Amino acid sequence: MYSKPLALTVSLLLMLSCSSIVKMHSIRSGEVSVSLSVPEDEPIEEEPDNEIVIDSIRGTLSEGPIIMNAIKDTETGEMVATDVINASKVTARFRNVAERAGYVSISFDITVPAAMSDSEWQLKILPFMGIQNDTVPLDAIYITGERYRAGQLRGYERYRAFLSSIITDSTDFIRIRQLEIFLERYYPETYAMKRDSSYVPAPQAENLFGVTQRDALVHYSRHLKWRRNERRKDRMDMMFERYVKDPIVSEGVRLDTVLVDADGDFLYRYVHTFRSRPRLKKVTVSLDGKLYEKGECIYAFPFPDELTFYISSLAGLVDDRPKYRSYVLERNVYDNTKAFIDFHQGSAEVDPELGDNESELRRVLKCVDDVVARDDLELDSLVIVASCSPEGSFRSNRRLSAARSESIREYIWEYVPNGWRDSLKTSELPENWDQLERLVANDTVLKAREIDEVLTVIRDMKDPDAAEKKLSQMPQYRYLREKLYPKLRSVSFDFHLHRVGMHKDTVHTTELDTAYMAGIEAMKELDYKRAVTILRPYDDYNAALAFMSADYNHSALDVLGRLDAKEPKVCYLMAMVLVRLEQYAEARKYFELCLAYDPYMRHRANLDPEMYVLVNDDGNNH
C-alpha cells in the first residue's frame, strides 16, 4: 500500500538531483555565469554586432566553401542569401562618475541567471574595488536557497538544544531533598532552623551538626553529573562547529536573500559611496563568487570582466598656472631678537649657569650664525642693548646697563667672524619704562583701579627716581616687583643689514605666491575647506571653484559675478552653480555662452551631473 507514495518520493528526489546536476554542468561549462554590468539610465536600442548564425555545412578544410540558405529575388532573378544577423545587446563596461564634496558614488548591476539558483545552494558574491594600488573588499551579496537556509537553521536548533543541556544553576548538583530528610530525621532542632532567618556562625553549626558544612555538601553532591556538565562547557566551541557548518552572518553582508521560487534571473543594483583620494582618475569593480552546498564550497567562479568607473572632479577645472605677487624689496634689512639673560644683583658678569642663561645664550648665538651664513645679506651693525628694572637710582642703572651690554658683546665676540667684529655695537637702556607700561596695561591680575594708578604715575613721570618712589608706596608694588620687573631685565639684539649687490634703496620685483599655490594644491588633494580658507581673499576663478567644491554655492555665485564673463570656464562654472540653485533659465544662457567661446566644454559637461539637464535640453545628450 506504500509502494506508490514511496515511488513518487523517490522519483521526485531523482528529478531534483538530476536538476542540480544539469545546473552544475551548465555552470562549470560556462554556459551560465554571474554577470556584472553598468546600469542603463535610459533604454538603449539593441544594435546588431554582426554576429551571423549560419545554417550551412562547412568543409573540413578552413578554405572550404560555405553553403548558405538563399531565395530567388523576384526582380533580378538572382539567388540572395537569407541567413539572419542576430541582434545582441551591447553592454557598457565603463561609466563616468563625478566626485562631489570629496565623495564618489558608483552603481553596478549584479545579475544571477535563474539556472544558477537551487534550493540546496547558497551563492556568495564578493564584490571588490580596485582603487589605485589597493584592492578594497565591498559588502557581500548572499543568495540562499530555501532548503539551504533550513539546513542552517536546523544546525542552530541542534546547537541550541545542546546549550540547553548545560546546567547553569549549581544547586542542581546537590541532593537538597535527601539532605533535608537527613537533618529532619537525626537533627530536628537543626532542621527547625530552616525557616529561622537569624545568622548562625559556621563553628556553631558544626557543633550542632557534628559535621562541617563542606562535609555535608560533599556527601550530598552529584559529582558525576557535575563533571559531565563541565565537559559540555568545554565542548561548546567544538559543538558549534559540528552543528553550524555555515553560520548565518550579517556583518559585512549587504544582502542575504532567501529564494523560495527561483523562476527568473536575480538582479541587484549595487550602490557604493566612498571617500575619494587625491588625483584619483578611475576605479575598477569585479566579483569573486563561490557556490556552497551543505556548508561546503563546491565551485569557485572565475572573475567576470571588470567594470571601470572614470572619475571626474571639479579639481580638474582648477587653473594651476603659477601665480606671482609683486612686492617692494628694500636694500636695508632690520631684524631683532630679545633674550632674558639674568645677572647677579648689581653685577655685569655673564654667568651661563645662572637661571636659563645657557639656553638663551645658545639661541642668540644661533641667530648670529644664521645671519652670518647668509650670502645675500651683509651685517652693518649688531647693536646690543641691556635694560634694567626701575629699582635703584637711574644713574646706577645706566652704568649697570652699559656694563652688561659690554659683557654680552665680549661674550659673543669669539663667535663672530673677524670681518664682522667691528660691527658689534653696544647701547644702554637704564630703565625700560615703555615695556613696563605695556605690561601693566595688559595685565589680567591687577584690578582696573590699580592699573590706572600705575599708568598715571608712568605717564606723568618727569623724574624716574621719583616715579619709582611713588610706585613703591602703592599696595600693588610687591606684585610689580616680583612679577613684572623681572621681564624688564632683558637684552635686545638689533641686526642692521643690507642686501649684497643692491645699490638702490628699493626695487620692485615679483615672487611665486606660495600661499596661493598651497590653495591650488589643497584643491588637488580634495581638501576643499582648506582651499576655501586660503583662496577666499584672492576673489578669483580658483576661489569660486573652491567655494563650489565645498558646496558654498552662493559665495561662488558672488565671486563669479565679478569675473570676466567672456572666459569660457567662468561661464561654465556660472551655469553649474545656477543649476545647483535651480535657476535653469539663467544657467542655460551661460552654458550656451560657454559653448560659443569653447565648444570643447560640451564634452566636459558630460562628466558633471549638474550639467545633464542643460546637455539634454540642448538636444545633444552624450
Q: What is the pLDDT of residues 4-47, one digit of tens each?
A: 555 445 454 445 455 678 777 777 877 788 888 888 764 433 33
Residue 410 lies in a domain: yes
Where is the domain boundary, 476, 507, 538? 507
pLDDT band for 82, please (50, 70, 90 cuts): very low
For residues 337 and 366, membership in a common domain is answered with yes
Residue 471 lies in a domain: yes
For residues 526 and 485, membership in a common domain is answered with no
Residue 573 lies in a domain: yes
Number of separate domains in the chain? 2
Share above pLDDT 90 across residues of the chain, in percent, rounded to a whole number: 29
Task: Report the alpha-carbon distance of residue 58 to residue 152 in Å, rounded.
Answer: 53
State yes or no: pLDDT of 89 exceeds 50.
no
State yes or no: pLDDT of 479 exceeds 50.
yes
For residues 352 and 416, membership in a common domain is answered with yes
- The parent domain of residue 404 ranges over 325-507
Cell of 11: 522519483
For residues 394 and 457, membership in a common domain is answered with yes
Listed range (65-69, 330-334, 433-437) with the worst mean pLDDT: 65-69
State yes or no: pLDDT of 126 exceeds 60.
yes
Select the highest-mean-pLDDT range: 5-19, 255-269, 291-305, 393-407: 393-407
Interval 260-274 mean pLDDT: 80
Residue 164 lies in a domain: no
Select the highest-mean-pLDDT range: 102-106, 257-261, 265-269: 102-106
Q: What is the CATH number of the domain that holds 355?
A: 3.30.1330.60
For residues 444 and 542, membership in a common domain is answered with no
For residues 448 and 344, membership in a common domain is answered with yes
State yes or no: pLDDT of 158 exceeds 70.
yes
Where is the domain boundary, 507, 529, 558? 507
480 CB neighbour count, 10 Å cutoff: 21
More confidently predicted of 250 and 402: 402
DSSP labels, 278-318: TT--EEEEEEEEEEEETTEEEEEEPPPPPEEEEEEEGGGG-
Q: Which pLDDT value is given to residue 423?
A: 86
Long-range own/partner contacts, residues 509-517 (CB < 8 A, 24 or more apart): 509/326, 509/327, 509/328, 509/329, 510/324, 510/325, 510/326, 510/327, 511/324, 511/325, 511/327, 512/322, 512/323, 512/324, 512/325, 513/323, 513/324, 513/325, 516/323, 516/325, 516/542, 517/322, 517/323
State yes or no: pLDDT of 186 exceeds 60.
no
State yes or no: pLDDT of 594 exceeds 90.
yes
Helix ranges (H only) for 210-356 are: 213-219, 223-234, 236-243
pLDDT digits (tens, 9 = 90+) for 556-573: 999 999 999 899 999 999
Q: Which pLDDT value is given to residue 203?
A: 54
Listed range (40-49, 136-145, 317-326, 528-537) with the worst mean pLDDT: 40-49
For residues 493 and 588, membership in a common domain is answered with no
Q: What is the CATH number of the domain that holds 611?
A: 1.25.40.10
Residue 524 lies in a domain: yes
Q: Which pLDDT value is given to residue 63?
A: 38
State yes or no: pLDDT of 452 exceeds 90.
yes
**pTM assigned to the model:** 0.57
**Residue 478: C-alpha distances to residues 420, 471, 485, 529 (Å):** 44, 10, 10, 50
Listed range (314-323, 324-333, 550-559) with the worst mean pLDDT: 324-333
Q: Which pLDDT value is given to residue 135?
A: 92
Listed range (257-271, 316-330, 526-540) with the worst mean pLDDT: 257-271
Residue 289's contacts (CB-CB under 8 Å, 6 or more residues apart) are: 34, 123, 124, 125, 126, 300, 301
More confidently predicted of 589 and 255: 589
More confidently predicted of 196 and 423: 423
State yes or no: pLDDT of 598 exceeds 90.
yes
Interval 581-595 mean pLDDT: 94
